[in-house]
Amino acid sequence: MPKLSRNAFFAITVIVLVSIFVSWIYQHNNLPDWSADEIKILQSLSIDKLPPLPKDHSNAFADNLRAAEFGRQLFFDERFSHNSKISCATCHVPELYFTDGLATAAGAQAGIRNSPTLVGVAYSPWQFWNGRSDSQWSQALAPLENTLEHAGSRTQFAHIIFTDKNYRQRYEELFGSMPNLSNKKRFPKAAAPVDNQELNNAWQAMQTKDQKAVNVVFVNMAKSIAAYQRLLQPASSRFDNYVDGIINNDAEKLKSLSKYEIAGLKLFIGKAQCINCHNGPLLTNNEFHNTGIISAARQLPSLGRATGLRIVLTDPFNCQGEFSDADSKQCKELRFVKTGDELIAAHKVPTLRNVADTAPYMHAGQLTTLEEVIEHYNLAPLAMIGHNEIKPLQLSGKEKKQLTKFLHSLSGPLAIDPKWLINPHI
Ligand code: HEC
Ligand code: HEC
């Protein structure tokens, strides 16, 4: 090769390397300039914009702190199960933001759904991945008798409260005197209107007024647990500090996110369109969407909200039922509920607060890591049933990493005194 052209080759190589370096520096060190519209969006996601908890008209004890304390005791008490070994905290572990780290829950039997976080859940008008409950208290009734979860029975629970001095006193201070359950013929040790034949037979043999008395105790337990869960609220994360930094032009706070995370945030509210569903301070629109998640191995695809809607409308414990404290007009969510074919295989949009610490993901824990989640959205596969609302995103490898990194900035402490997170029974 002649000398000159070797020099030229060298010069070109240097120029290419320098320009790669400069563009790397540019991408890694330049704060994206946020437009006025983008800043508005960022503000709308900030924890400072979290409104006060909406009133739960169906639960007269929702904001009663003594009920919450009673609820905390019930939440952690393993006696409320078929084998005295399962409590709500078995699957909703405080240190894991009230999840369990498993793909699908493990209670009395192996479950089929992923245990969602309870932090911020009191803002959600619908409970469960398919929204089959319309309040926190009606939700809490379900796991207590579900054969996959606590597998207990309401009569068993009422007896525990009746015979435990501490519980009985707390219960009666809140709800008035307990029914006298000492007659075991009228109030069998275990009975409930559930699939289990033995429990169901025992329940059907009870007088209607005794069934009602037990139902009232069962519901009051759940209303107390709901009062406890209302306290489980998120506090500021690094993301919120960054937004604060933008609003108040605070150089220190602007350092809360790395350049890479900021780029991910830009994608989150822009090109990747996550904001369409994950919006507001809890990063959820509280609705149901079909995102084409493949069913878990050996499971039929979940019909999602299509099933949940059918169940909640006929649930005797819904907002319009006899055990609700709301008057029917206050049950707006239920009365004006959305229906339609798009609810087939649509699942509840989960909060993304603390999401880096609540793996695995999706309604049956189908995706193990956040990288897999981003790849899922990027490819947007055809839905097994219904219609996937997501379109492929065409993100580069680097963009996928940035988005993942950003999701890590959404973790933070809880906004309550840590004493509420302690199991009172150990
Ligand atoms: C065996 C594990 C297990 C136990 C025990 C358990 N849960 Fe859950 N929990 C789950 C799973 C799994 C789901 C999701 C189920 C579904 O959507 O079908 C869930 C859903 C919930 C939800 C709805 C959250 C949301 O975002 O929709 C709340 C609230 C909740 N549980 C509270 C409780 C309470 C209160 C108790 C105790 C009375 C309890 N759980 C006991 C596993 C469990
Ligand atoms: C069309 C609405 C919609 C859009 C857009 C959307 N999501 Fe979701 N997201 C959902 C729904 C619904 C689920 C639960 C799906 C399921 O379990 O079947 C979910 C679940 C998740 C989860 C799992 C959370 C958990 O606790 O299991 C993560 C993480 C997530 N989305 C991140 C994102 C990111 C990042 C984007 C943008 C690339 C995005 N989402 C775009 C609706 C949406």
Integer Cα distance of 193 and 188 in angstroms:
13
133: Cβ below 6 Å to ligand 1?
no
Q: How many CB atoms lie within 10 A of CB 91?
A: 24
Res. 298 pLDDT band, cuts 50 70 90: confident
51-75 pLDDT, tens per residue? 999 999 999 999 999 999 999 999 9
Q: pLDDT tens for residues 126-145?
A: 999 999 999 999 999 999 99
Task: Give the ligand 2 atom nearest the CA of 362.
Answer: 17
User: In ligand 2, which atom is closest to the CA atom of 370?
Assistant: 29
- Residue 25 is predicted with a pLDDT of 54
Mean local confidence (pLDDT), 285-291: 97
326-378 confidence digits (pLDDT tens) = 999 999 999 999 999 999 999 999 999 999 999 999 999 999 999 999 999 99
pLDDT of the residue at 31: 56
Q: What is the rounded average pLDDT of the residues 249-257?
A: 96
Q: Residue with the nearest Cα to atom 32 of ligand 1?
A: 140
Q: Residues 192-226: pLDDT tens digits?
A: 999 999 999 999 999 999 999 999 999 999 999 99
For ligand 1, mutation pick of 78, 91, 299 (most atoms within 8 Å of CB): 91
403 has a pLDDT exceeding 60 = yes
Q: Is the dihedral of CA 284, 288, 293, 298 positive or negative?
A: positive
**Band of the pLDDT at 23, cuts 50, 70, 90?**
low
| Ligand 2 center to 415 CA (angstroms) | 24
Q: CA-to-CA distance for 229 and 121, rounded, in angstroms?
A: 8
pLDDT at 32: 67
Calpha distance 381→294 (Å, rounded): 9
Residue 17: the pLDDT is 78
pLDDT of the residue at 30? 47
Q: Which of 352, 367, 388 to mutate to test the pocket of ligand 2 (most atoms within 8 A of CB)?
A: 352
End-to-end CA distance of the chain: 81
| Tokens encoding 228 | 């406890």
Atom of ligand 2 nearest to the CA of 288: 12
Residue 20's CB is within 10 A of a number of other CB atoms, namely 10
Rounded-to-integer distance, Cα 135 and Cα 332, Å: 12
User: Is the model's pLDDT at 416 over the cut of 90?
Assistant: yes
Q: What average pLDDT score do residues 18-35 get?
A: 64
Ligand (nearest to CA of 269): 2
Output the CA 350–ligand 2 centroid distance in Å: 7
Q: What is the mean pLDDT of the chain?
A: 94
State yes or no: pLDDT of 95 exceeds 80: yes
pLDDT of residue 256 exceeding 90: yes
Whether residue 27 is predicted with pLDDT greater than 60 in this model: the reply is no
pLDDT at 16: 76
Torsion of the alpha carbons at 172, 177, 183 and 186, rounded to the nearest 10 = -110
pLDDT band at 5; cut points 50, 70, 90: confident
The rounded Å distance from CA 194 to ligand 1 centre is: 18
Please state, in angstroms and rounded to a whole number, the distance separating the CA atoms of residues 162 and 178.
7
**Beta carbons of 349 and 277 less than 8 angstroms apart:** yes
Average pLDDT, integer, range 268-286? 98
CB-based contact 424:166 (threshold 8 Å): no
Give mean pLDDT, residues 380-399: 95
Whether ligand 1 lies within 6 angstroms of the CB of 118 is answered as yes
